[in-house]
Structure formats: C-alpha cells, structure tokens
Amino acid sequence: MTQKIPELDGLRAIAILAVLVTHFSRQTVLIGGYLGVDLFFVLSGFLITSLLISEERAGGVALGNFYVRRALRILPPMLAAVALALALGAVAIPAALAAIFFAANIVDIPMGALVPMWSLSVEEHFYALWPLLFILLGRHRPRFVAYAILAVVALRVYLLSMKIGIYEQTYARADSLLVGCGAALLFATRPPKLAKWVAPTTLAAVLATFTFMPWRNFLMMSFGFTILAFVCAALILGVLTNTTFVNRLLMWKPMQYVGQRSYGLYVYHAPLFILFQRFAVEGDAANRAAMSAAGAVASFVVAEISYRTIEAWARKWSARFRARRGGFPSLAPQGEGWRPEHESNVRPAP
C-alpha cells in the first residue's frame, strides 16, 4: 500500500504562499517571495527523478504512461486558467496560445494575466526531455547532472554580462531542476546521513531568502539561484531523513490543505488578482488592500472548486496509466523506515 509524504505538500505550501503574498501585497511584504518558484523547481526535479528510478527498478520506465500522467496533471487546470483569463478579458489570444503550447517563456509578447505560466513552460520542457535523458544516460546520470548544472550557471553569468534577460528561460533556469534530480540520484544510491539541525537551518535560510533577498540583482541571478536550489535540496533531504519540529510544521493540516491545492492556486491567482484590481481606487490604501484580499480569497475558492472537480477527474483518469512500481520503497536501504510515496504527490511546479 502506498502512502504520501505529507512533508512535501507542506513544502509546496511554503512555496505557493511566498508567491501569493508577494503578488497580492505588490512585493511590499516579502522582497524575494517569487523565489518560491525555485523551491517548486527543486521539488519537481527530486520527485520526478525518484519516480523514474523507482519505475526503472520495478521493470523499466514506460515513457508513454509517464507523458500521459503528466499531461493529465498539468493540462486540465492550465486550460481552465487560460479560459478564465480570456473570459475576464485579462489576456490576448496570442498570449493564451503561448501558454497552451508552453512557449510563455519564449515569446516576446505581453502575457497579461498568464505571466506566471512561464514556469509551467520550464517545467514542461523538463518533463519532455529529462525522462529520455534519464534512460539514455544510465550510470552516467550523476556526472551529467553535475556538468549540466555548471554549464547552466556559466551560461547564465555570460548572458547576464551581455545584458540578456535570463529569468524565464529554460536553458538558464534548468539548474534548479537539475539540483533536485541530483538530490534524488544521491538519495537513491547513497542516502546521506544528515544531522537533525539541517532541516531547521535550511528552512530558516529559505524563509529568510523569501523575506529579505532582492532577487533581481546580478549576484542572485548569476549564482544565487543555484545556491538557493542546493539549500532547498538539503531541506528536502533533511525532512526525509530526520523528524524534527519542521516535519510537524509541514504536516500541519492548514499547510497540507494549501500544499495540495498549490498548483490551482498558482494558475488561477493572476487572472483573479487582475479582476479585483479593476475595482481598486488609486490612492486609497484601504480599498486596494481590500481588493487584494478579495482576490486572494477568490483564488482559494476557485482552486478548491478545481481541486474537487477538474483535478479530481484528471486524477481518476491518471490512475489508469499508473507506473510499474509500488511507490518509493525501492529507493531506500532495507530497514530504514522510508515512507513510501505515491505519484499523486508529484505536482507541476509553478
């Protein structure tokens, strides 16, 4: 019988709350909250790679089933969010098409309420390429991941020195996903023995980064994304190898609730934010705060409806294409009490 690892939903909650607070407060509460996306990237790299390893050990990776499961997880809410943005007049047709075809981070057009779709494009490019590379690379995976991370950082520094934008480009943001992949490969072959202070320390570092770190500067955009990714990977491994108050915080029911609806919150919040900001009165701080609060509440309502309808339907169909495995038990040494993982815990990172 498979189980979910609730701490991972708790980490998603932290990531999406950082993004939402930053957006709805117009970046006045959290300076670096948009970096919650980087935590999502690392989580995706870790989980997808872990599931691929587990499936490989159970008899081989079924690529067709993998891609169907990813499509059923990503497309229904994303298409609903695009439809919502179009219905509200918050986006133009070209931007909607760019989002649907996962080109939001490539095209040079105004994306309107679909600006957050850039990270889904990065994710989808990763989902398309990494399973193929995973199969082809075989035992060379760790070396490839290490060199690829170095290559991405070098490219990003070069492009920044040339004053070329890199924030949304897959080739310049893949290092966060790759760090997650590397953490999964390490955990599957040689699980690190981390001290109990690792999870609390790395959580504090992540929260401090979200709160105080200006993310649009050369230091952060050159090396900072990669350093943060390694801190996030250490946080993930820390909560999986030890039990501390961090685990209890992440398993808290409100955190679980938010984490399980994190994808819907991400894709729906921007169109609703724009909708309610139309009623904001310039110069009236109380009115603007009320409209932001209304947009946040509406985002949770719509995400809940989506979770119970659109996403429930997708989960039901996805079960027909289940991978050949029983979860994560094959990733841990016998007797270490590893808690099995179900693929329902793998959600796209905004």
pLDDT per position as a tens digit, 215-236: 788 888 999 999 999 999 999 9
| CA-to-CA dists, residue 257 to 208, 248, 284, 313, angstroms | 23, 14, 33, 19
| Cα-trace Rg, the chain | 20
Write down the domain spans for the chain.
6-345
pLDDT per position as a tens digit, 29-87: 999 999 999 999 999 999 999 999 989 988 889 999 999 999 999 999 999 999 999 99
pLDDT per position as a tens digit, 146-195: 999 999 999 999 999 988 889 999 999 999 999 999 999 999 988 888 99
- Range in 161-170, 241-250, 318-327 with the lowest mean pLDDT: 318-327
Q: Is the pLDDT of residue 289 over 70?
A: yes
Question: What is the Cα–Cα distance from 239 to 200, expressed in whole angstroms?
Answer: 9
Q: To the nearest whole percent, how much of the chain has pLDDT over 90?
A: 79
List own/partner pairs for 130-133 with CB under 8 A and 24 or more apart: 130/45, 130/48, 130/49, 130/52, 130/177, 130/181, 131/48, 131/52, 131/61, 131/63, 131/66, 131/67, 132/63
**pTM: predicted TM-score of the whole model, two decimal places:** 0.92
In order, the DSSP letters of 54-91 are: HHHHTT---HHHHHHHHHHHHHHHHHHHHHHHHHTT-S
What residue has token string 């290490």?
Answer: 146
- Range in 171-180, 279-288, 333-342 with the lowest mean pLDDT: 333-342
Q: Is the pLDDT of residue 240 over 60?
A: yes
